[in-house]
Amino acid sequence: MKIVVALDSFKGSLSAERACAIVAHSLKEALPEAEVEARPMADGGEGTARAILGARSGRWVARRAMGPLPDRVVEAGYAWLEDDRTAVVEMASASGLTLLAPGERNPLKTTTHGTGELVRAAIEQGARRILLAVGGSATVDGGVGAAMAVGWQFADARGVPVGLGGGELQRIARFQAPDPWKPPPVEVLCDVTHGLCGPEGAARVFGPQKGATPAMVERLDAGLRQLARLVQANLGLDLLALPGGGAAGGLAAGAVAFMNAQLVPGVQAVMEVVRLADALIGADWVITGEGRLDDTSLCGKVVSGVAALARKKGARVAVLAGTVALPSRMWRRAGMDMAIACAPAGMSAAEAMTRAEELLAGAADSLARTLAVGTR
């Protein structure tokens, strides 16, 4: 029997690598003759770079970079896959919301400059492909800070360079590309469809969770709209019509405009980079999972993406989740054969997260016993 273990992280408690290791250990104990292969997964959010390193032979390249606030330096970095010279830059490591205390969150001041520094470092290292994971950002600057870091210049109507942060967007009247500017292919791992501006745009949907007041939201939305007008006039790109352009406070749109990036579904890109399809050749079972199996799990998330690929490869699918909040007919319709909740009914989320390793190991042991019976 061949089993592939491809779990996402259990948010707030277990990394994808640790979750996969726990499940793989239980399977090997119960099924010593089975071939068990781990492929940690992610959807383009926080933890993507580390998950990819857990599935591929690569290394972490440590870099100091500007943090979400211009006066702060953070220890950041990116994943480097030497065999195909791919860099995986995770914006949360330099420009993430978790790097700020709640009282420091202010998208008028926060910037993606540090993320751009990581992109520049990867280019200088000779990257042939850059994956940009944009989950967990603290910013609403339209990617202008990142563009500055790779050499773009932004100025006001008098030619005075503008500062960093979303509050400076309305001052921008002109910009200039670095010369020469031939970046390698950049792919933004993007799972949201929110546009850059408007009621479902970056400022109004994501701004409040990043510290924006209603007045800030209006100012940020106007600034992003101003940036989109300039890009349309000078580069011929309609960022306002770009599905997903509002991801990461507009960094997705900015990367398209200033890094020639493409927006790609995060799960699909990660499955390709970790070579999950190759691992699934000849697999009998695929074990996937996440912290909570609910209706959002069926919309471009790891569990549904892995299940769909497993089905194409002829493998059966079992899901281990902290809690299962979907009726069986829905997860079965999505191609899953089993769904097991790690936490018992009635256990609080706080306790479940504290005991995450123990609970996942218990669920994995139960699954392993079930699979062992099926092989007799």
Residue 147 and residue 115 share a domain: yes
Nearest-5° Cα angle at 250, 244 to 252: 55
Are 136 and 107 in contact by the 8 Å Cβ rule? The answer is: no
Residue 362 and residue 294 share a domain: yes
pLDDT for 42 equals 92
Dihedral Cα 199, 193, 304, 314, nearest 10 deg: 160
CATH code of 328's domain = 3.40.50.10350
pLDDT tens track, the chain, 376 positions: 999 999 999 988 999 999 999 999 999 999 999 999 999 999 988 889 989 998 888 999 999 999 999 999 999 999 999 999 999 999 999 999 999 999 999 999 999 999 999 999 999 999 999 999 998 999 999 999 999 999 999 999 999 999 999 999 999 999 999 988 899 999 999 878 899 999 999 999 999 999 999 999 999 999 999 999 999 999 999 999 999 999 999 999 999 999 999 999 999 999 999 999 999 999 999 999 999 999 888 888 899 999 999 999 999 999 999 999 999 999 999 999 999 999 998 999 899 999 999 999 999 999 999 998 766 5
Are 65 and 145 in contact by the 8 Å Cβ rule? The answer is: no
At residue 70, φ and ψ (nearest 5 deg) are -60, -25
pLDDT for 55 equals 87
Residue 223 and residue 333 share a domain: no
Strands 86-90 and 35-38, by their bridges, are unpaired
Give Cβ neighbours of residue 169 (< 8 Å, ≥ 6 apart): 141, 142, 144, 220, 222, 223, 224, 226, 227
Residue 145 to residue 139: CA distance in whole angstroms:
10
Residue 272 to residue 286: CA distance in whole angstroms:
16
Residue 108 and residue 59 share a domain: yes
3-state SS record for the chain: CEEEEEECCECCCECHHHHHHHHHHHHHHHCCCCEEEECCCCCCCCCHHHHHHHHCCCEEEEEEEECCCCCCEEEEEEEEECCCCEEEEECHHHHEHHHCCHHHCCCCCCCCHHHHHHHHHHHHCCCCEEEEECCCECCCCCCHHHHHHCCCEEECCCCCECCCCHHHHHHCCEEECCCCCCCCCEEEECCCCCCCCCCCCHHHHHCHHHCCCHHHHHHHHHHHHHHHHHHHHHHCCCHHHCCCCCHHHHHHHHHHHHHCCEEECHHHHHHHHCCHHHHCCCCCEEEEEEEEECHHHHCCCHHHHHHHHHHHCCCEEEEEEEEECCCHHHHHHCCCCEEEECCCCCCCHHHHHHCHHHHHHHHHHHHHHHHHHHHC
How many structural domains does the chain have? 2
Residue 211 and residue 285 share a domain: no
Question: For residue 16, what are the CA distances in angstroms to 33, 46, 277?
Answer: 25, 11, 18
Residue 129 and residue 22 share a domain: no
Tokens coding 33: 């003759």
Strands, E assignment, 190-347: 262-264, 285-293, 316-324, 338-341
Residue 164 and residue 74 share a domain: yes
Domain range for 201 is: 48-266
Are 135 and 45 in contact by the 8 Å Cβ rule? The answer is: yes
Residue 243 and residue 133 share a domain: yes
Residue 302 and residue 191 share a domain: no
Rg (CA), the chain: 22
Residue 77 and residue 33 share a domain: no
pLDDT for 374 equals 66
Final residue in a domain of this structure, among 216, 233, 266: 266
At residue 137, φ and ψ (nearest 5 deg) are -80, 155
Q: Which helix (H) or strand (E) holds 370?
A: helix 356-375
Residue 15 and residue 74 share a domain: no
Final residue in a domain of this structure, among 266, 292, 325: 266
pLDDT for 249 equals 96
pLDDT for 145 equals 98
Residue 284 and residue 366 share a domain: yes
CATH code of 229's domain = 3.90.1510.10
pLDDT for 166 equals 98
Final residue in a domain of this structure, among 215, 246, 266: 266
pLDDT for 213 equals 97
Residue 297 to residue 334: CA distance in whole angstroms:
10
At residue 15, φ and ψ (nearest 5 deg) are -75, 165
